[in-house]
Chain A
Amino acid sequence: SQQGEEDPQALSIQEGENATMNCSYKTSINNLQWYRQNSGRGLVHLILIRSNEREKHSGRLRVTLDTSKKSSSLLITASRAADTASYFCALSGNTPLVFGKGTRLSVIA
Chain B
Amino acid sequence: GAGVSQSPSNKVTEKGKDVELRCDPISGHTALYWYRQSLGQGLEFLIYFQGNSAPDKSGLPSDRFSAERTGGSVSTLTIQRTQQEDSAVYLCASSLAGGPDEQFFGPGTRLTVL
A residues apposed to B, CB below 8 Å: 3, 30-31, 33, 40-45, 48, 88, 90, 92, 95-102
Contact = CB atoms under 8 A, between A and B. Distances in A.
Contacts of A3: 42
Chain A CB within 10 Å — which of B98, B100, B102 has the most?
A: B100
Given A42-B105, A43-B105, A48-B102, A96 B48 contact: yes
Contacts of B103: 43, 45, 90, 97
Chain B CB within 10 Å — which of A48, A88, A97, A99 has the most?
A: A97
A99 B39 contact: no
Given A96-B56, A101-B41, A102-B42, A42 B107 contact: yes
Contact of A30 (B37, B48, B89, B100): B100
Interface of B: 4, 31, 33, 35, 37, 39, 41-43, 45, 48, 56, 89, 91, 93, 98-100, 102-108
Which 10 A-B residue pairings sit nearest by Cβ, starting from the closest?
A92-B100, A101-B42, A42-B105, A99-B43, A43-B105, A30-B100, A45-B102, A42-B107, A96-B48, A41-B107
